[in-house]
Amino acid sequence: MDLIINFIGIILLFQTVSGGKTTYTIYLPDGRNDPAACASFIPEHYGFIRVTTPIDESKINWPYIPCNQGADCKLFPLDKDEIKMTGINPGGGTVDVRPTAQLMPSYKDFNSYPITPATAAAASVATMSFSTGQLTGIGLGNGMLHTRLSIQTIGSDIKIEGRNNRSLVVPMKSSVDILNLPLEIALGTPGTQMGGGDRVHYFLYHKLADKEPTGPCKAPGDPKSVASAAMNMGGPSAGEVSLSIACSNTNYP
């Protein structure tokens, strides 16, 4: 594969099937502005595209923040962006979901707290859709899990675009991170344990729901709402979704 995209932090993966084509959309719930849930403060989460490999400065039209993972590390802030990529193989509407993806937590009460794409997009700091590539679940030594998408490219450059004509170009064989994390962790402080734990962090998921929960605070990490697989490997019918969280705890990389 020619491009690696890591989804790290509080990111939801939304699966739909229509006309025999499976599409996946990621939603980064907007965790800015001092969010609180379960009577606990949640550290503010910010969306970024993070690139740690060398890229041509002349091909960057997106203000960025330097991060501390080397001179080439750059954070490109996300703010109501629909991320689009050109220079990748569009494929035939098939995503290869590897068995390791089944390790990812899955939220299964979307019937109780329904989600529609319009509502989720409105409550997100960024979205991105794809219908090709290979999805895997990646486990790190600190106990954290995240989702990885590997995609074949066309040519030597991949253009990444956001709103207001912001763009950057990364070369083939690049590794790109899409993050929804507290700023200090996105900057590159690994393994930081944030306060509140999974329960309140995952509660950011409910920002994407069509209605707020009225019962006791719960999160995808709670036993009754975790399924054995992140994806419905049998394939949902049109309009149904399968949701997974891009991390399993607060030990972010």
Q: pTM for the full model?
A: 0.83
pLDDT tens string 158-198:
999 999 999 999 988 888 999 998 888 888 765 555 544 55
pLDDT tens string 116-143:
888 889 999 999 999 889 888 887 666 6
pLDDT tens string 76-98:
999 999 999 998 877 666 788 88
Say if residue 11's pLDDT is above 70. yes
Rounded Cα distance, 11 and 27, in Å: 6
Domain ranges of the chain: 3-252
